[in-house]
């Protein structure tokens, strides 16, 4: 059974750095066909892709947020970590991690429940 679970602070202050952890089970982060993405959704708004990482440590970032994001993984702990620097109230959103399955085409087939992060002083 594949599961993903996000964890991290529910409240951060403007200018602070956000660190979110995605703990996965039911698959290995060393599987060549699989990666993990971070996707966010501001309240009442659309989904926005942030970053992904694959088993070979290949990474991609949102063009508009690239300077603020870092994604990494710890395969032994089955965890993927996203850091976002210089947080702003507009970054208030539910942050999801999702498994990116690539068996030819790629798609997110499993999602975490999401974690709401509020940016406020």
Partner 1 sequence: QSVLTQPPSASGTPGQRVTISCSGSSSNIGSNTVNWYQQLPGTAPKLLIYSNNQRPSGVPDRFSGSKSGTSASLAISGLQSEDEADYYCAAWDDSLRWVFGGGTKLTVL
| Out of 53, 114, 117, 119, the residue judged to bind partner 1 by CB under 8 A | 114
In a 3-state reduction of DSSP, which class is residue 53? strand
x/- binding map, residues 31-70, to partner 1, per CB under 8 A? Answer: ------x--------xxxx--x-------xxxx-------
| Out of 19, 21, 111, 118, the residue judged to bind partner 1 by CB under 8 A | 111
Cα dihedral angle (87, 88, 89, 90), rounded to 10 degrees?
A: -100
Phi-psi region of 68 (alpha: psi -120 to 50; beta: other; left: phi over 0): alpha
| Contacts to partner 1 by CB under 8 A | 37, 46-49, 52, 60-63, 96, 98, 104-109, 111-114
């Amino acid at each position: 059974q594949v599961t993903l679970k996000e964890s991290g602070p529910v409240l951060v202050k403007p200018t602070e750095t956000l660190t979110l952890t995605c703990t996965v089970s039911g698959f290995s982060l060393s599987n060549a066909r699989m990666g993990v993405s971070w996707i966010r959704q501001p309240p009442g708004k659309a989904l926005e892709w942030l970053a992904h990482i694959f088993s070979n440590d290949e990474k991609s970032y949102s063009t508009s947020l690239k300077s603020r994001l870092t994604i990494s993984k710890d395969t032994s702990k089955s965890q993927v970590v996203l850091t976002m620097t210089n947080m702003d109230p507009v970054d208030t959103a539910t942050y999801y991690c999702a498994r990116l399955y690539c068996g030819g085409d790629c798609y997110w087939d499993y999602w975490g429940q999401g974690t709401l992060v509020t940016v406020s002083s």
